[in-house]
């Protein structure tokens, strides 16, 4: 008797013609890029406007950073949602859910009536942050057979400095006119305008393959591996070191990200004496330099390897952050060093997000990328928390930022060194499990 067909028996083979057309790929990159720009716009807007929000609520610098720390705890739990969604409802649907959720959170932030409501609403901004990992998984599959895909993805990932630039620029113009609340409403409305275009995105190769397998078996896509099975893959002997390296890199790097980028205006105000209005201008121009950093690191990742590019740049960023805090308060000096810092700190994320998408096996790619990414809010919690505690103890902002941020930037680079060498993966199929050879 012929045996029953199983998922393992059913193969959906790709052919060269399966690769989306150039016009389709261009549309995908543009929409994903815009989605990421608006997600960053909302997520960084709170940190950018924190001095104005603190003034409105009567908070000190220590109280403001402590409030931000509590928000990060909520963001962590919310950011766990996409990992479950990506491998179950699909990449495209997950992307749209993150966009709509982030837009609503931004709009409701402006309507917050008190500290508790503001806390709950900002905790949900983890949806905006999590859009990044959805982009990474979706685009790594859409661009699988494209040459210089790292450089192309860096253009999309450069939405971080563009979003931060957009937020700082619009705030500089609108804050004196409409206040911080309407600044969030503007961000939410702008994101909703992109959603109709996202609905026209094609499904990724993984989602299409899953649908074909389900159709061949007359089953539903619920044949996928359980979350427990995916985690067993992530912590199998061949992947354990890589998974832990990615978790450590994301965790510790976000100590510094929280201190020097999300809370950048607060740090510049308290450590260097630069008022919010001038700080916003520095942020705008510095993020232009950061945008160039994304392009350069995307290009370097294709040339010399993404892992090594990230390690070296983050070490440079850690050193620059110390120079920034201990150097003079001259605005020109601050602008130059802070711009260089963003170049080497944020630029490597163009390589990192694509690296995560290609270094985990396909059957656990969403959960693997999201597990590491979900540790970013934990890093934010500890980075902001340590900063708040040190400030409460009377330590200066300069030394508090070094202890809470700079040291952990260097540790993140050390962790990244133990990730899989992506140069050995270039000629392998993404469906083949990764052997953790270094």
Distance of alpha carbon 97 from alpha carbon 82, whole angstroms: 9
% of the chain with per-residue pLDDT over 70: 79
Q: Write out pLDDT tens, residues 97-115.
A: 888 888 898 889 888 888 8
pLDDT at site 434? 45
Q: Which residues contact 429 (CB under 8 A, 6 or more apart)?
A: none
The more confident residue out of 433 and 355 is 355
> Average of pLDDT values for 123-138?
74
pLDDT at site 252? 96
pLDDT at site 214? 45
pLDDT at site 20? 55
Q: Which residues contact 283 (CB under 8 A, 6 or more apart)?
A: 48, 164, 165, 168, 264, 265
Q: Write out pLDDT tens, residues 383-397.
A: 988 998 999 899 999
User: What average pLDDT does the structure give for the chain?
Assistant: 79
14 three-class SS: coil
Say whether pTM exceeds 0.85: no
Q: Write out pLDDT tens, residues 307-343.
A: 899 999 999 999 999 999 999 988 899 999 999 999 9
The more confident residue out of 5 and 122 is 122
What string of DSSP letters covers 351-379? HHHHHHHHHS-GGGHHHHHHHHHHHHHHH
Q: How confident is the model at residue 50 (pLDDT cuts 50, 70, 90)?
A: confident
As a dihedral over the C-alpha atoms of residue 257, residue 261, residue 265, residue 266, rounded to 10 degrees, the angle is 0
Q: Which CATH class for the 22-204+225-424 domain?
A: mainly alpha
- What's the token pair of residue 148? 């210089």
Q: Which residues contact 37 (CB under 8 A, 6 or more apart)?
A: 159, 162, 163, 166
> Average of pLDDT values for 256-271?
87
């Amino acid at each position: 008797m012929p045996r029953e067909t199983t998922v393992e028996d059913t193969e959906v083979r790709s052919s060269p013609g399966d690769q989306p057309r150039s016009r389709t790929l261009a549309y995908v990159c543009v929409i994903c890029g815009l989605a990421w720009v608006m997600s960053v716009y909302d997520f960084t807007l709170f940190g950018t406007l924190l001095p104005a929000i603190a003034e409105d609520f009567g908070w000190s610098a220590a109280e403001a950073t402590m409030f931000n720390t509590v928000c990060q705890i909520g963001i962590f739990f919310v950011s766990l949602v996409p990992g479950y969604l990506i491998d179950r409802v699909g990449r495209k649907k997950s992307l749209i859910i993150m966009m709509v959720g982030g837009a609503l959170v931004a709009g409701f932030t402006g309507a917050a009536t008190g500290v508790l409501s503001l806390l709950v609403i900002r905790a949900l901004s983890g949806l905006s942050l999590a859009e990044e990992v959805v982009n990474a998984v979706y685009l790594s599959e859409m661009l699988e057979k494209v040459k210089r895909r790292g450089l192309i993805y860096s253009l999309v990932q450069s939405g971080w400095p563009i979003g931060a630039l957009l937020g700082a620029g619009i705030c500089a113009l609108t804050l004196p006119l409409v206040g911080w609340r309407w600044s969030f409403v503007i961000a939410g409305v702008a994101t909703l305008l992109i959603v109709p275009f996202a609905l026209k995105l094609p499904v990724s190769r993984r989602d299409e393959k899953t649908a074909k397998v389900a159709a061949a078996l007359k089953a539903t896509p619920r044949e996928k591996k359980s979350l427990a099975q995916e985690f067993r893959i992530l912590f199998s002997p061949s992947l354990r070191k890589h998974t832990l390296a990615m978790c450590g890199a994301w965790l510790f790097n976000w100590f510094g990200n929280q201190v020097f980028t999300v809370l950048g205006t607060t740090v510049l105000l308290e450590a260097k004496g630069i008022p919010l209005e001038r700080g916003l201008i520095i942020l705008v121009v510095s993020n232009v330099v950061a945008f160039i950093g994304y392009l350069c690191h995307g290009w370097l990742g294709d040339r010399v390897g993404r892992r090594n590019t990230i390690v070296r740049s983050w070490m440079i960023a850690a050193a620059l952050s110390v120079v920034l805090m201990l150097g003079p308060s001259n605005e020109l000096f601050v602008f130059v060093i802070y711009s260089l810092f963003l170049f080497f700190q944020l630029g490597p994320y163009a390589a990192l997000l694509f690296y995560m998408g290609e270094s985990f096996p396909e059957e656990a790619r969403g959960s693997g990328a999201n597990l590491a990414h979900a540790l970013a809010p934990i890093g934010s919690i500890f980075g902001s928390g340590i900063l708040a505690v040190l400030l409460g103890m009377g330590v200066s902002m300069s030394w508090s930022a070094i202890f809470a941020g700079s040291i952990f930037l260097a540790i993140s680079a050390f962790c990244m060194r133990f990730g899989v060498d992506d140069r050995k993966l270039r000629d392998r199929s993404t469906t083949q499990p990764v052997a953790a050879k270094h």
